[in-house]
Amino acid sequence: MSLPYLPFTRPSIDEATIAAVGDVLRSGWITSGPKVREFEQKLSEMFGGRPVRVLNSATGGMEIAMALAGVGPGDEVITTPLSWVCTGNVVLRAGGRPVFVDIEADTRNIDLKLAEAAITPRTRAIMPVDIAGLPVDRDRLNALAKRHQIRVVEDAAQSMGANWGGRLIGSFGDLVSISFHANKNITTSEGGCLVLNDAAEARQCELHRLQGVERFPDGNMDATLAGGKYNLTDVAACIGLGQLPHLQQFTMRRRQLAARYFECLDRSLGCTLPIADMQQSNWHMFQVLLPEGMVRGDFIAAMHAVGIGIGVHYPAMHLFTLYRELGFREGQFPLAERVGRSIVTLPLFPAMQDSDVERVCEAMSAVLRVPARRAV
């Protein structure tokens, strides 16, 4: 009998949350309302009382953060090419220019030494990315920003439940955008939040997320800025409220599964494994680099053929057509390019069993030992 298909990720949503969503649907109030306010309050409590505004995506959070940081035409934002393309796109949409610097070979996160060397008088902000939920060094990051008087927009899309030195990501720092997409550590199906510094920024975020409109008790309204439409629905917020109590449990289970991968993966296969951080990373993803010469498409197809899903997160974005047209080219960021062409995301989600990890590792051993699947 064949084993069931094992996807690279799957959300864990309990029956109580499903029932609560039904209650919201029956209530007649399904767009932004009381559940959104409750979700924001719970998140604020989790992040030490900082103001939090929920949005329809972490991308929306970063777009608003660009506005709050004052990024506009002629401004530069330093970031990493190894991320989902939204990280660069939000800078372009603000009228700025992303300035990419290479990554660290071990963490796969932005190299802060290179980032500091890239600062110019036009630099408005730095936007680090916590790849796979492994935090960028927040001490060095925030010290760098303070020295150069630039804003920090944390692309913490993958960081929910991760910490730096015991401090939860989002509970400190500058502007922090977190994702609740379906493949994240907790989900609202689609959605995200922006953690802000004070009430004034929170109010500006509210205006940006819903057309810049201010409403008054007498029924009148005004539009004070050209906002967008980034609001989260009560349906989505209800899912988030059901997910939040499970965050610590989910994080611990992810760490256990990651530890099992380290125990089971055959090092002789030639894969490059991630840093084994079991204290700070939330293990949003378990990613390995395939051996040089292995054709990634062949590996993905072979694993799929035995019922195992594999993800790719992420190609180096500066090699996309959009960024090549801006003058970026192959060879500029060799570490990010090496990772981008070889990285694969293995299955990891809280409902997995240890035996699922063992199954993945056994399949990888079989696939990677077939010479015909290697590039010539």
CA–CA separation, 342 and 338 (whole Å): 6
DSSP state of 198: S
25-49 burial, b if ≥16 CB within 10 A, otherwise e? eeeeebebeebbeebbebbbebbee
Strands 286-289 and 343-346: antiparallel
CA–CA separation, 373 and 65 (whole Å): 44
Q: Is 229 a catalytic residue?
A: no
Query: Residue 19, class by beta-carbon neighbours within 10 Å (0-12 exposed, 13-18 middle, 19+ buried)?
Result: exposed
Query: Residue 116, class by beta-carbon neighbours within 10 Å (0-12 exposed, 13-18 middle, 19+ buried)?
Result: middle
CA–CA separation, 194 and 203 (whole Å): 12
Cα–Cα nearest to 83, from 23, 17, 155: 155
Catalytic residue among 42, 113, 146, 184: 184
CA–CA separation, 312 and 85 (whole Å): 13
H or E segment at 152?
strand 151-155
CA–CA separation, 162 and 251 (whole Å): 8
**Which amino acids are annotated catalytic?**
184
